[in-house]
Amino acid sequence: MIDPRPIRVDATAFPFVAHILDGKQTDEDLETYLQDVSRLYARREAFVSIAYVRDYAGEWSHIRRIADRMKSLPLHFCKGSALVIPSTTFRFVLSSYYLLHVPPHPTVVFEQAQPAEEWVAARLRQEGLLVPAGLRATA
């Protein structure tokens, strides 16, 4: 069954984790997402993630809540993050932000999914983690 929530975490292929932002999230959607992210880090196991940012509600209150939650998590378990962002403007803004505020793990912003998935597969291998069969592991 496909999860219909517009913002969600899919850890079914752990240690590969997908964050999907595909619609305008409500406060309730965001709270569920933050709980799922907290459960992910509570596993206390290494993982590599990809975020597919297709559509989202750019609410400042939501951005603040995500930032506050991330400050409380053991971020060293995330061994890398790829972000797939089709929007040129948002990619530019986020890449510029990362120049000033360097993430605690390798983070790369992509326009398309295929190179991002190849990067994630390579990071998983570099960290000695299982690369799921369905992931484009051609890198």
What are 13-44's pLDDT values in tens digits?
999 999 999 888 889 999 999 999 999 999 99
**Is 99 inside a domain boundary?**
yes
Helices (H), the chain: 27-42, 60-71, 88-100, 113-126
Q: How many domains does the chain fold into? A: 1
Higher pLDDT, 117 or 65: 117
Residue type, 35: Q
pLDDT at 2: 65
- For 98, the domain range is 7-126
- pLDDT surpasses 90 at 131: yes
pLDDT at 137: 45
What are 70-91's pLDDT values in tens digits?
889 999 999 999 999 998 888 8
**Is 28 inside a domain boundary?**
yes
Alpha-carbon gap, residue 85 to 32, rounded angstroms: 22
pLDDT at 138: 38
Q: Assign residue 60 the CATH number of its domain.
A: 3.30.750.24
**Is 40 inside a domain boundary?**
yes
**Is 56 inside a domain boundary?**
yes
**Is 135 inside a domain boundary?**
no
**Is 59 inside a domain boundary?**
yes
> How big is the CA angle at 20 (ends 65 and 129), to the nearest 5 degrees?
100
> How big is the CA angle at 52 (ends 109 and 11), to the nearest 5 degrees?
115
pLDDT at 139: 34
Mean pLDDT is lowest, of 8-12, 61-65, 125-129, for 61-65
Furthest CA-CA distance within the chain: 40
